[in-house]
Amino acid sequence: MSDLKSNMKKEQILDSDVKDYIQALLEKSEEAYLMSLEIINKPTLKYRAEGFCFFICNAWELVLKAFIIRRENSISAMNFKNNQNQTLGLSECIERVFTSTTDYTKTNLNMVRSIRNKATHNVLPDYDFIFAPLFQKCINNLLKFYEKHFPEYKVNKSITPFVALSNAPDTINSPLVLNPTSLMQFKSLETELNNDISGDITQTIKLVSTKKSNEADLVYALEPNSEKAVHFINVPKDVNVTHPFLATEAVKSIKESLMLSLGSDFGFNMHKFTAFCKDKGIKENQNYCYKIEAGKEVRYKYSHDLINYAVYILSEENGAKKINPGQDDCSAGNPTLLA
């Protein structure tokens, strides 16, 4: 279990000097966080990734020390017990606060810390594009940590907490390939990031059309014969609401419904579900199935319409009384474009 305790003893009374020290640490942590945002959002700066890692790691180290000090009600808690002249490093703070080996925040932070350590001895100018999702999660996690454990401290949010995307790296023509160690490091980091399990991030971007070109950030034209079609979306959709079922959950829901129409002897399982989806082209229809890609991991989520459709078709094919499917053909309707 994680050692994080959001419900710390409310009756705990902190010494005044401990309070002051925690406040100073939080202020310094916030400054380091804002510096990391400022650096990572300067696309012309060639030290973006390295600078971001240095400052965001410092921000995390200071806020974790504030957490440890408050928990122990002692400033010396941030020092090594056998050497009071040396304070804990980031890795020690992480281990003392995030004790679970499967904590997503810990996984993400350790990856950023690893990049910082590598950047201390090397240059990483071509990695920014690949690092962006990892860095964004690190920022999100830091703000959540503040909100959960230091709700009384209001972090300055005047700077938008998002990482600006940069162009994809040119690893073929990059001078980094002149150093075999750098190239191996790039491949290693790329593999780690593709296997990152520290949770998905979701960002919603809303575009509003205007006829006043002087107010527009982007200018577009409609071309009916273009190969790249543009679709207007009036209402953004949350895939977790429109497609709430994973495959196992969809099988369970369909099976429970079929028991009412076909009886408990009708065996519906994952094998039959997979065959049904393949036969009916379910994964090609966004009304029924939504594909989520995160690195090399691919997941499918299914809608309530798919449950109704599957129950209707299977009941009809197996001689049960017809029920209202809501939609009687997988090909009916156009696939929905999700925001």
Task: Give residue for tokens 């999700």.
Answer: 338
pLDDT at 153: 92
Per-position DSSP letters for 286-339, written without gaps between them: TTTEEEEEETTEEEEEE-HHHHHHHHHHHHHHTTPPP---S---TTSSPPPPP-
* Residue in 67, 75, 56, 134 with CA at minimum distance from that of residue 98: 67
C-beta neighbour count of 162 within 10 angstroms: 15
Task: Give the residue extent of every domain in the chain.
Answer: 16-194, 239-317
Token digits for 232?
A: 């207007």
The Cα 98–Cα 227 span in angstroms is 50
Closest CA to 135 of 166, 175, 94, 98: 166
pLDDT for res 295: 66
CA distance 93 to 196: 22
Residue 285 DSSP label: -
What beta strand segments (E) does the chain contain? 79-80, 83-87, 289-294, 297-302
**What phi and psi, each to the nearest 5 degrees, are found at residue 66?**
-60, -40
Q: Report residue 338: phi and psi, to 5°.
A: -95, 145
Per-residue pLDDT for the chain (339 aa), expressed as one digit of tens each?
444 444 444 445 778 889 999 999 999 999 999 999 999 888 778 788 888 999 999 999 999 999 999 999 999 889 888 877 889 999 999 999 998 888 889 988 998 898 888 777 665 556 667 778 888 889 999 999 999 999 999 888 777 777 766 555 555 566 655 555 655 666 666 666 666 555 555 555 666 677 777 777 677 666 667 666 656 555 556 788 889 999 999 999 999 888 887 777 778 899 999 999 999 999 999 889 998 887 678 889 999 999 999 988 888 887 654 444 444 444 444 443 333
To 10 degrees, what angle do helices 180-194 and 104-121 make? 170
Q: Is 245 helix (H, G, I), strand (E, B) or coil?
A: strand
- Diameter of the chain by CA atoms? 80
Do residues 139 and 163 touch, judged by C-beta distance below 8 A? yes
The pLDDT of residue 163 is: 78
Q: For residues 25 and 62, what is the distance between their CA atoms, to the nearest angstrom? A: 6
Phi, psi (deg, nearest 5) at residue 180: -55, -35
Q: Are 63 and 146 in contact (CB under 8 A)?
A: yes
* Residues 6+ positions from 211 with CB-CB distance below 8 Å: none
Q: Are 135 and 112 in contact (CB under 8 A)?
A: yes
What's the pLDDT at 339? 33
CA dihedral 165, 107, 51, 123 (to 10 degrees): -90
Nearest to 68 by CA among 149, 122, 143, 135: 149
* Of residues 176, 146, 180, the one with CA closest to residue 161: 146
